[in-house]
Structure formats: C-alpha cells, structure tokens
Structure 1
C-alpha cells in the first residue's frame, strides 16, 4: 500500500506569485500529480479566502480544507504559524502519515521541514523557481519546482543552464562518494537517492527529462551505464568494467564470454514529420488532448456561447463547464478547458463586445461563426497555423493522422489551410505555406520589430563561426549563461545567434524555424534593454527594445510561455526607468521584491507631475503594442482595491488608456 500524504499549501504565497508571474495556477493539476505518490489523507490550504474567492470552488472540488487566516496590515504572516502548528500536530498524533508536502517558497518553513525530518517524516517541498529560497530547498528531503509539478515543459533558459551545470557537478560528486565507499558500479536508483541527499532540488524533470535514465545517457561524457539482472548501474568513465556487466550484450565468438561494449551514439538524423509536429506543439505549449475530448469541449463552448451570447465571461464559462463535467464524472479540469479555449481564442473566434480582451469581459462568438463545425474548425486551425508560423513543412496526411487519427482526413487539413489563407493569416510562396510579409522573415516589416531587424542585418558573422542552426543554438545557450553576469556580452552573443538563425531560414536549412528566431530576438531585446538601461543609463534608448520584447511576447502567442520568466522583470524595469530617466531616486520601489503592478502604482501616483506624465506616455506606447499584458496588470490591481484604494485608481487609468488606444 502506498504511503499516506499530508499536503499543506501556503496558498497566499503561491497565488500572489502566480498573479505576478502571469501563471495560470490550477490546483487540480498539482493534487493529481501528488496523488501519484500515495493517498492524500490531509489536504489544507491557508489564506484569507475573502481575497481569493475565485479559487474556492476548485479547492473544494479537490476536497481541500480551506483554513481562513484573516489578513493583517503589519506583522508576522499568521498563515505560516498556523500551517506549522497543524503540520507538527499531525506528525505527533497520526503516525501512519509518513510523507509531508509543503507547498510554498517561503524560507520560514525551513525549520518545520527540518523538524519533520528529525521525527522521521519524509518531507517534499514544492515552490516556484523564482521565489523559492535555497534554505527551504535544502531543508527538505526532496524539492520539486511548482512548474515541474504542474507539467510545464522545461525550456532551456538562463536559469536552467545554471541548473544543468549544477546537476552535472552533482553527478560527479555522487559517483565520487560511491567510489570512496567501494560501491561501484552503483545502481541508478541508489545513485539518484544519493544525489537527492546532496541536493534535494535535483529533479531530471526540471531539466526536461521524463526519467533518470535518459538524463544519464545524455551525460555520457561523465558516466557510463551497465546492465546486470535487468538493473541499470552507473560508474565513472575511468571505471574498469568486469565481464559480468554489460551495456550492449555481445557474444565473444572466440572465448564464449560476454564483453562490455560501449555503444557509440549515432549522428542525429532529421526527425520524421510527425515527431517534428509533436515537438513543435510541446515547445509551444499547445494542448495535446485526445481528439474526442478536445472536440467535446469545443462543441460545449460553442453551444453555450450560441445559446447565451454575452451572458458570461470566459472565466465563468470555464467554471460552469468544469462543474458540469465534474457532476458527470468526467475528468476534465480547468487547465484542460483553458488550453482548449485558447485554441479558439488565438484564432479570433470570440467577440468581447468591442471591449478590451479579458477573461472577465462578457464574451460571444465572433461574426461569421454560425455553426458548430465552423467553430471547431476555427479552433483546430490553430494547430496548423502554429506549424506554418514555426516554418515547419506541412504534410496533409501526417498532420491529419496526428490531429485526427486518420491519414485519410487530408481534405479537412486542407480546408483549415484554405480558411487561414482566406482570413489573410497565411499565404503560399514557392509552393510552401508561409506567413504574409516580405521574404522568408514575414515579421521583418513590423514597425515594432524594426529596431531588432536593423541590428540583425548589420551583424557581420566572424570567420571562425560556422553558419547554421546548430551554431545558433549553441550561441543562444552561451548567451543565457552570460546574461546573469554581463549584459553586453550576452546581447552580442544573442545577436549573433539571431543572425545565424535568420540566414538559415533564408537558405531553407532543415531545422531552422521562425519560432526559434523570434525566441532569440526576444532574448536579445531583453539583454540589450538591460545593457542600455542598467549599464549605459540610456533609458530612452532602451525603451524601443522593451517595446520590441513585448511586441514579440504576446499572451496569445506560444512565446509567452517560453519567456514567462522575463515578463515580470521586463515590465517592472520598463516602468521604473521612467523615474531614472528623470533622475528620480527609485530605490525605495524595491525592484527585486515589487511586482510590476506595484511599480505602476509607484510611478502613476508619484508626487512628480513630470513622472506621472512620462508614465502615462510609456504606458500608452505599451498599450499600442501589447494591451493584454496591461489588462492583466489592471486586473491584479483591482483585486486589492478594497485594501489599497490607490490601486483601483491606477487600474482605472490603465483601463482608460486601453479604451483610448482601442478607439484610435
């Protein structure tokens, strides 16, 4: 029987992080992930639930006890104290519960985790990457980043590059420790236990691997693998294998004995189209729901909006559908529903009565969508559009098989392409479907991106750099590592990666994609903006690069998920630079701890009229580029309007700016 779990959620800590980082937090996904480890017999969440009413239904649907902690304006967060008391009380009174899960990033829970371990309880910490304190990580037996627990695909970014290097060092240290004990080769399961003892935050899923074995195979330059009795063993490269261990069994014809043969990894071949499609959808964080479930959800969305246009917001619609499915015993959580709805949203299938797009605005079907089949087709066209935008070759039969489980449905895929063409979203050039625009880089003419394209076009590739996508990818990884140390070096390296990817697309090199180019361009924009504003103090010169970043990173774009970790700091610095540009001291704004919404309030309500005017101007510029990110900020501010009246005033200003821009 699986060991019992007790789950304690510092909900306010997690929910506020999710709002700041534009992360759609679904408690159902987290509970389902944890219950794979055993039955959760205690589930408690601590918060002032008057502030988080929109989460209460999903919490109760997962049988989570809501512990009310009333907010106080100053002093110790009482949720921390109450959670710690409850956890320790259960540890003393319920000995059958062995595993304790603490969901928070707050280092104040470190003593609790340490004390639970002292009493022989296994502690698992779960918290967001960006706010979790290292002290909490090392106090737990095991620590899982919240994004990993929720199934977010691991993208290579600045943080993960450092994690990759740390994991490699950890592997070497663990193997050395086993070698000193004469315990080589070591079973892979024991090796992982040792690595977790050394660093509880180690988790191959954080690095993009579903299992430990593929991660080990990827680091064959540090360790080699053996099999014995169908068990996997690991040893350092200099370990001398004996005859009874083998990686690849091969009979020695002369001696009749088995020898150890280290297999050479073949050169990577170009992936089949189906694999390319799956990889593209995963990279762009698009839904991979079963066909029947996806279509059932889309049909239900259509019927509700067709029968009740404008009577509910998208959030209310999702809540209603989730309740309906739950009552029918269907496993379709809100995360699934939102992912499916996003397909239709990205293809313009909704109308918000000429209001700015928002999950909290009344919604109806867009003009021209007058049938269930038409709505489903409009939503499923998003899969096809994503592949065209990435520059991937379109094979009708292969795509029909992936999306519809039937290669004979090529005509349907063609109809989606025809619809996209009719709506002006794609065109054909040289017998390929591409985005409209000049040349092979369709967004080269975008005014907001002109400054990036100009910089890329001026790059001269050094003689020692090999052209192609592999070199571009290597340079991008190098730039990620440089970013935390040297904005100037990072921006130069990113720019060179952009140039190589751009050239590879122009010549039609296999593997060159517009999605990767846009990723490199957004990364370059963030690095050069950091260099100009934080190193050169050229705040006006940095502003076009901030705007270019937000022109690329839109909420309805897959790049949003890949760049989510930079959205928050980029927006905070974009607004705080208004004060610096006017030589106003902004150190009291505490950029490292304040959310973009708080920075907006500081700037918009500052005593300096000149600063308020400049904030209004740069916010208007941003509204013209990316209104959805401002809509999220306004929604965040409205959540705390009762406690902080000035937040409501700034939210109203942002709403007024959005209205003004939408009418131009």
Structure 2
C-alpha cells in the first residue's frame, strides 16, 4: 500500500462520465475507485473528492453508494440533450462546465490545498489546468491513455495512466517485479506504431503512445525535466529525428525522409485593403499582413506588450513553436484574446518588421534537420516601449 504523504493537501475532481465511458470501452469494466484514491494519496492528504455526472442516467445510477462509501461526494448535474432524442444526439457540456466552475471556486476558498487531481481525459479541461498551475498548484491528471487528449497530458504536471493503476494492483497481488524496459527502445516503438497507423507524431502523441505501451511513463524517472529533452537525447543517439512542422515538433525514424523545417513568415506581398477586428476598421495606411489578417497596428499597447514579454521570458534564441506556445498560454490564462490564426498573423508581422530576428542553425552537432530560432530585437523602439511602459 502506498504511504500517504501528509505534507500536502489535495482535492480530487472526477469527470465520472468521461472516466466511466473510457474504462468500459477500453477495459470492459467500471472505474476502480479504490485504485484512483490509493494513487492520489501518494501526492498528499485527500481533503475533498467530488464526482460529477447525471446520476439518473441508467449507466450511472448504481455508482453513488460506492462513491459515498469511499468518501467521494457525487455531484448531480442534469445532462441536457439536443433535440432529436438521447440515443442520437450528444449531450451539452453542462457537467464539464460545472466541474470547472466548482474547481475554480474551491481554488479561491481553499488556498492551503496545493495539489489537484483531475480524473478525466477531456482536452476541454486544459484551461482549468492552466489556471490551477498559474496559481502555483500542482495538477495531476488520471485518465485512460487511449482516450486522453495528448494536449491535456502535456499541460498537466503529471499524467497517470489508468492502466498503470491496474498494473500496480496486479503486481502487488502477484508480488512479481516488473520487467525493466529500455525507454529509448519504447520511444522508437511508439514512433514506429504511430507511423504504421498514419497518425500525427507530435511530442504529446508520442508520449501518449509510450504510456499506452508501458502503462505509465515519466521522463523525470530517467533524469529529464521535459519529454522534449528525452527525445532530443534519443536524437543525439541516432534513434529518431525531429523537425518543426505546423507549429509543433514532429518525431521521425532515422530512415525516413525529413521534410524541410517550416519557415514562418510572409507568403505574399502585403495588401493595401483594410481589415477589421472587433468591428473596427484599420487604417489603409497601416502595413497589412499577407491576407488582410491581424496586424500589429490592430493590437493595443497592452496586447503588444504581453506578446513581447511572452517572447522575452523565453530562453533565447527560441523556436517558433516555443514562441507560439508561450503566447497561446497567455491567451488561455485570459491575458490576451487572440485566436491561433491571429497569433500566427502577429508573429508574421513581427518578422516582417524586424522585431523577431531569425537565425538558421542546427539544434546541436549531428542533428540532421536545421531549425530556425528567433530572438526579440530589444533595440527596436516599439519593443523597448512594450517591455518598459
């Protein structure tokens, strides 16, 4: 049995519908509540645990007594369905919204709780994860690997595969040590499996596949702070190759042809047509982006300052992927209101106006693919004013 850590308080929020459907579909069994609680106790003392569902639904009616007996409060949320009948139409996300609202309220009223365990695989909870982490909280996600958003896996401080909970229980009963595995061999196997299935091979999805294969995987157990560092080490050993594509880092096998790294920037001559944002027309004299998209002149001084600070806070020079992700994280925190396309337009504009300076280079000696790294030109007057208003 895991030793309870009494130095930290933690709260558990369970998206019951998500975990129930995932375990039934993948393993043909209902969620093992005891295993979830036992694993959670490794991170601290459980001071609150709540499960959200429409308990009148036929699949969930028997769950509340079991939850009560394990110290979990069943929170009833009426699931509303679109016109057309329950069988053919998907429910609204009222349950997800209530979980996020009550978790945010708990965060405000219980500052002593340092760890939050979210039992779900739904990527819609990424903004909630970012909110909790921005308040200095540790976020642990427990979910079924095959049914969990890989972006959710990346956003959490720690992801625990539900399959690993079952494996730990079996190992405890059998008292047989788990067979040691080579993490680099598993990485190559994961990339090969994704390639065979013609699936995207971004970092998050590769890690997700490794978790599926192993039941659990944490790069920190092998001396790496980030999964990217682990993959880079594998690339240095000649086991995989990486390249920036479509704003994310993709992983390839050594015998695959590496596509050229993406060169973000203007794709056409600037147009003179005015564009609109928030119903306001931009001046025709202002430099326009290639497709009449968002331009720097559309940003308020505050918005431009946040963009510049997002770049300045990174270890420079930084890849376009890291810069994009840093700005996107600010939008998820509510500091900016920019869509994915608008962020791309702003970065294109910063490149054209020289606020971002590119440098083509190899990430390290021996890498097969060159990448372009960027730094913020702090000498530019507009940048200076944005960083020091």
**Bin for the TM-score computed over the shorter chain:** 0.3 to 0.5
Larger proportion of helix: 1
Larger proportion of strand: 2
Query: Which structure would you say has the larger RCO, counting Cα contacts within 8 Å and 6 or more residues apart?
Result: 2
Q: TM-score, normalised by structure 2?
A: 0.42
- Structure ID, larger Rg: 1
Q: TM-score, normalised by structure 1?
A: 0.26
